Amino acid sequence: MDRKSFINPDMEYRMKTIVHRWPQEEEVLMDAVRDFGYGGVATNPDQENGYTSNPQNLKKFDVTLRKLQEKGLDYWIYDEKGYPSGYAGGLALEGHPELEAKGFYMVRRIAVKPKHSVFHLDDESDRIIWAAKYPVDHSVMNASIIEYEKMEAVPFTDTYCECDLKENEAFFVFCVKSAYEGSHLTHNVCSRSRYINILDEKAVRRFLDVCYEPIVQESPDAYCNACAVFTDEPSLVTAYIQGDEVWPYALAPWKEGLFEDFEREYGYSILPYLPQIFEGRESSYTTRVHFYQLIGKLAARSYVMQISQWCHEHGGKFSGHYLAEESLRFHVLYYGSYLEVLKATDYPGVDVLAAYPKIYHYNTTRFAQMAARKKGSNGLMTELCPFIDIPYFEKEPVRYATGILNLLYLGGCRCINSYFSSDFASYAPEILGNYKGYMSREQACWVNNYVGRIGYMLDGVQNDCGTFVYYALEDVQAKTRPEHCAQESSDCDTDRSLLSLTRRIYEAGQDYLFADREDLVNAVKGDMMIYGIKVKNIILPAMDVIWPDAWEALEIMKKNGVNVWFADKLPANRVGDRVRFEWYDFREESVREPKCKENGVFRAMTETEILEALNSQERELKLAVRKRKTSAENSENNTALCEKNEPMILTARYMKEGKIIYFVVNNSEVDVDLSWEFTGKEKAQLWDPSEGSVCDIRKEELFRLISYRGSFLVFENE
């Protein structure tokens, strides 16, 4: 680590400001961007007058990119006109309505007595894709048990089908329609356009043809000279987003050939089990887990891998961010498997709308951090976008944004593309009068230096933390059923448990990382390591469903000395290979015993017990608050807070160049004075990104951490 590089960090470590529209004298804005301490921009061709179909826009964009390079400014290419990425401002679907996003829904009819049933397709739908009838067992009180293995296909046309139903038979019809009304498409601040099907390789290829190819035809080096491509919130759009709306159709994701893809992936036909996508509990879990895991793979293959491959062929790499990163429920609804999609990117990314630390969701970056670890990247990209509760944020925007930036870097972020903008108008009012923002030149220079120093210190390193929280995606996949209205993350037990667990752990000063099924299985094949980190603790949220191999891995880990803690309950159901899966028979109450009952190996614990167990473990670095003082600019507010609340000190450990580094962050409204103890160490170095200073500091010597600031304690690893 070099002190000069820390004091004046390179451009690559500084924030990039997002510029969608350039002034006529664009070099003036470029000069302002550099003068305000930014490392570059994220930008795009002119989005007006035909977007990428207008040759003049492409010529102008080529000139812009060349000027940015001449001035030593890095750039990202934003790949859309507005968002979500994929529709290219309407160009992708122009003349190609068959590429539009689709979903399929189910119509259920049942005959208690014999009857003839006729189904006509409505004018909102495209066509019928499957129809079948099944015997129904009504012998159990208040239950209709569909006998899936006895499915009988019913002939159908695109618009019509009919059949005779015997007593106790069910008739199911499955139809395809456009996924548009009530979705993310009609409830955003940018556009209300229809959208491509990201599961359809032809649709994504069309997006490349109308949005990416024109740029490279005019500017062959555009992508190879870019940091990366910034894609923005592509998604399946089959989920509804507004809670006050109810729709006639509960949609599951669809593409042509989906049923054949399923059989190729899992070795059995989904057709007898199609109703289980929409209904049923334990007996339907495996079908739904398989279905949504496949959807994730198809989205990753069609959208991310195809665009990534195109970028590679043109010397670039693919990044950006996806939708609703904070919630496992949305990981399933919008992608089938968010992790599959994120792993396929060259450089994972997230966006952060929570603009001050009190409302920040710690898991926003932590889920993506897991993908970054699997990719072997130096971290992830974050789009910083102050959007939620702006009036509160605007009370102290620089201080609150700094607090968010600390949390982002603690959570694995290493690159910022920012809508948290500066008052560039002050640089040249007559030219940049419309380019106003939150920060003055002095503030912007300070923030960019602060961010750049953190980025320099953490470049190439990941949190060295032995506590892992289980990414319980299979539990949410198993329980996800299409609905007629919006599904909230707050209604998901697993999300509630994860949020509560991680918040309590983190705010108690404990660090954590996420681990998924693959991580656990691979760990027991080696030395109980997850990507080079020795596993000490595995914490599982409240969940009902788990993969069998994940459960077996946990048993092996526990036998090898790893602490395995289940919050609130043990998972009662396993999902996996249909041939091996032991189906519940709802007619025999005696066989409904949980598959993962307490057997002396594991037991359920409360969150409080888990936190106590964590806190009882010996810590390498001990920090003590010796005294607290208020911020000069916020003294009355901070005095009151100081009297009521203990400061929140967050830490993360790293190894770099033979040294042990702790990033110590004051995530609270009050200033603190801290002292440190480190086993076997009498002195350390304090690297302060606020001032760019480096000094020696001895054991138990006090150092100041201002509210929402961080510093690095650096120790020799002898």
Does residue 677 share a domain with residue 641? yes
517 part of a folded domain: yes
Does residue 120 share a domain with residue 167? yes
Does residue 635 share a domain with residue 603? no
What is the phi-psi region of residue 315: left when phi exceeds 0, alpha when psi lies from -120 to 50, beta otherwise?
left
pLDDT value at residue 309: 98
Does residue 577 share a domain with residue 708? no
254 part of a folded domain: no
At 652-691, the pLDDT tens digits run 999 999 999 999 999 999 999 999 999 899 999 999 999 9
Q: Which of 615, 637, 667 is a domain's end point?
A: 615
Does residue 227 share a domain with residue 328? yes
CA distances from 435 to 18, 26, 142, 384, 427 (A): 11, 12, 64, 18, 10
For the stretch 270-284, what's the b/e string if a residue is b when 16 or more beta carbons lie within 10 angstroms of its beta carbon? bebbbbbbbebebbb
AA letter at 21: R
At 320-360, the pLDDT tens digits run 999 999 999 999 999 999 999 999 999 999 999 988 999 99
496 part of a folded domain: yes
580 part of a folded domain: yes
Per the structure, the count of domains in the chain is 4
Does residue 569 share a domain with residue 507? yes
Q: Which of 595, 615, 635 is a domain's end point?
A: 615
Give the start-end residues of each E strand in 584-670: 604-605, 621-629, 649-656, 659-666
Residue 13 and residue 459 in contact, taking contact as beta carbons nearer than 8 Å: yes
Does residue 600 share a domain with residue 630? no
Give the start-end residues of each E strand in 138-251: 145-146, 152-153, 160-165, 169-178, 229-232
324 part of a folded domain: yes
Does residue 522 share a domain with residue 418? no
257 part of a folded domain: no
Q: How far apart are CA 78 and CA 186, in angstroms?
A: 21
Does residue 509 share a domain with residue 473? yes
Does residue 628 share a domain with residue 526? no
pLDDT value at residue 597: 53
pTM of the model: 0.94
Does residue 644 share a domain with residue 525? no
Q: Which of 615, 634, 649 is a domain's end point?
A: 615
Q: How far apart are CA 316 and CA 305, in angstroms?
A: 13
AA letter at 658: G
Q: How far apart are CA 423 and CA 416, in angstroms?
A: 18
Residue 492 and residue 239 in contact, taking contact as beta carbons nearer than 8 Å: no
> In CATH, what number is assigned to the domain containing residue 334?
3.20.20.80
Does residue 157 share a domain with residue 226? no
Residue 514 and residue 537 in contact, taking contact as beta carbons nearer than 8 Å: no
Best CA proximity match to 30, nearest among 46, 11, 17, 45: 17
Q: What parts of the chain have a pLDDT lower than 50? A: 579-595, 631-643
664 part of a folded domain: yes
453 part of a folded domain: no
Domain that holds residue 123: 102-178
CA distances from 242 to 101, 188, 476, 486 (A): 19, 11, 20, 6
